[in-house]
Amino acid sequence: MKIAVLAGDGIGPEIVAQATRVLQALASDGLKIELEAAPFGGAGYDAHGDPLPPSTLRLAQQADAVLCGAVGGPKYDALPRPQRPEQGILRIRRELGLFANLRPAVLFPELVGASTLKPEVVSGLDILIVRELTGDIYFGEPRGRRSNARGEREGYDTMLYAESEIRRIVEVGFQTALKRGRKLCSVDKENVLETSRFWREVAGDIGKKYPQVELTHMYVDNAAMQLVRNPRHFDVIVTGNMFGDILSDEASMLTGSIGMLPSASLDARGKGLYEPVHGSAPDIAGRNLANPLATILSSAMLLRYTFNRDEWAYRIETAVKKVLSEGYRTADIFEPGTRKVGTSEMGDAVVAAL
């Protein structure tokens, strides 16, 4: 099993280092993996003038799975758009056909106090957001700048979904709901957008194949409200690229820290890119402060979804639960009475718990 390791920028290298230690600890226990690193994002630009250098793309294409850290930083903010680190992530998603983005928001009981919401609202929270990742207004054409009839400048993008794109992501939503609480909420803006009217129609059509799953539809503004009002009402949410981007950041905060949340981006055959939901946090980069748990949990998702090794994934997740119950906390989830540790000490603790 070959894993391409794209650490990226900011805290990326620190947190990925801890996740690869965890994978290597399993390797010494019999898990057969081979890791190969390549520059990506700002680091790709620094090395080859391209946030997704051809050699990095080739490695990602050849590998069975990709483990990513995070990309971006102030150093790259002034670059023209094609060289920006974010373009690296958008292009790799597109090039590898990673249309299904799974973003779980699970609250560990030990962290109930770290959430900004009341314990009675969030305890037991276990939501999965299934976000479409290669379509929508992110990629729709035409887009750009122009002058309108009055000679005024305008910027424009195109929200667009083909039926096949909606079908395959909604199928993923139903399939994952089947393995969980059998509730699927499809989120759209059907009261305003044509794209959403079509989305809702196609989703409803697929729903006929899944009588075992309760399908509901919700407007995105209401979904944003329900996520903070009564988040446990949700089981699986399926939605488009843009709405999923926003709702997944919101959902992450329910769990106390965005530093805890892993994600998987899958193609049609289960090949995947695994990365924490959070960004590159340039403000704390290189200071051994970042929480590596989201990346470590992403490596667990990698073992589960690409390699079908549920038992190894479970070992990592159990080790993370154990270090939390032992009181280890990075700064983002620290509360008085727990043990504040740095990035590498958190990695030490997880490896020890394994």
| Active-site choice (126, 245, 267, 348) | 245
Helix, strand or coil, per DSSP, at residue 329: strand
Query: Does the protein bind Mg ion through residue 86 (CB under 5 A)?
Result: no
Nearest to 260 by CA among 114, 146, 119: 114
Helix, strand or coil, per DSSP, at residue 321: helix
Helix, strand or coil, per DSSP, at residue 354: coil
Q: What are the φ and ψ backbone dihedral angles of 295, each rounded to 5 degrees?
A: -75, -40
Catalytic, 138? Answer: yes
> Pick from Mg ion, ligand IPM, none: which does 79 bind, CB < 5 to 8 A by kind?
none
Nearer to ligand IPM, 103 or 271 (CB): 103
Nearer to ligand IPM, 261 or 354 (CB): 261
Distance of CA 59 to the CA centre of its chain: 21
User: Smallest distance, Å, CB 283 to Mg ion?
Assistant: 18
- Cα distance between residue 103 and residue 87, in whole Å: 20
Catalytic, 189? Answer: yes
Query: How many chain residues interact with Mg ion (CB under 5 A)?
Result: 1
| Active-site choice (126, 249, 267, 348) | 249
* Residue 328 DSSP code: E
User: Smallest distance, Å, CB 64 to ligand IPM?
Assistant: 22
| Active-site choice (29, 77, 205, 221) | 221
* Residue 10 DSSP code: T
Region of 57-65, 113-121, 159-167, 242-250 interacting with Mg ion (CB under 5 A): 242-250
Catalytic, 245? Answer: yes
| Active-site choice (189, 235, 305, 332) | 189
Q: What are the tokens at 139?
A: 């990629």
Nearer to ligand IPM, 86 or 126 (CB): 86
With tokens 């988040």, the residue in question is: 231
Query: Does the protein bind Mg ion through residue 245 (CB under 5 A)?
Result: yes
User: Smallest distance, Å, CB 87 to ligand IPM?
Assistant: 8
Classify strands 153-156 and 144-147 as parallel, antiparallel or unpaired: antiparallel
Catalytic, 249? Answer: yes
Query: Does the protein bind Mg ion through residue 214 (CB under 5 A)?
Result: no
Nearer to ligand IPM, 196 or 263 (CB): 263
Beta-strand ranges (E) seen in the chain are 2-8, 34-37, 65-70, 100-106, 126-132, 144-147, 153-156, 183-188, 214-219, 236-239, 262-266, 272-276, 328-329, 339-340
- Residue facing Mg ion at closest CB distance: 245
User: Smallest distance, Å, CB 81 to ligand IPM?
Assistant: 11
Classify strands 236-239 and 126-132 as parallel, antiparallel or unpaired: parallel
With tokens 């038992």, the residue in question is: 311
User: Smallest distance, Å, CB 302 to ligand IPM?
Assistant: 17
Q: Establish how many alpha carbons lie within 13 A of residue 220's alpha carbon, considering only the half-sphere containing its beta carbon.
A: 24
Q: What are the tokens at 106?
A: 């699970």
User: Smallest distance, Å, CB 249 to ligand IPM?
Assistant: 7
Q: What are the tokens at 75?
A: 């150093």
Nearer to ligand IPM, 97 or 327 (CB): 97
Catalytic, 32? Answer: no
Nearer to ligand IPM, 37 or 246 (CB): 246
Q: What are the tokens at 218?
A: 């919700």
> Pick from Mg ion, ligand IPM, none: which does 89 bind, CB < 5 to 8 A by kind?
ligand IPM
User: Smallest distance, Å, CB 250 to ligand IPM?
Assistant: 12
Which residues of the chain form contacts with ligand IPM (CB under 6 A)?
86, 89-90, 245
Q: What are the φ and ψ backbone dihedral angles of 110, each rounded to 5 degrees?
A: -65, -20
- Residue facing ligand IPM at closest CB distance: 86
What amino acid occupies position 159?
M
- Cα distance between residue 66 and residue 280, in whole Å: 17
Q: What is the CA radius of gyration of the chain?
A: 20
Region of 44-52, 205-213, 243-251, 260-268 interacting with Mg ion (CB under 5 A): 243-251
Nearer to ligand IPM, 56 or 207 (CB): 56
Active site residues: 138, 189, 221, 245, 249
Q: Which positions lie near Mg ion, rule CB under 5 A?
A: 245
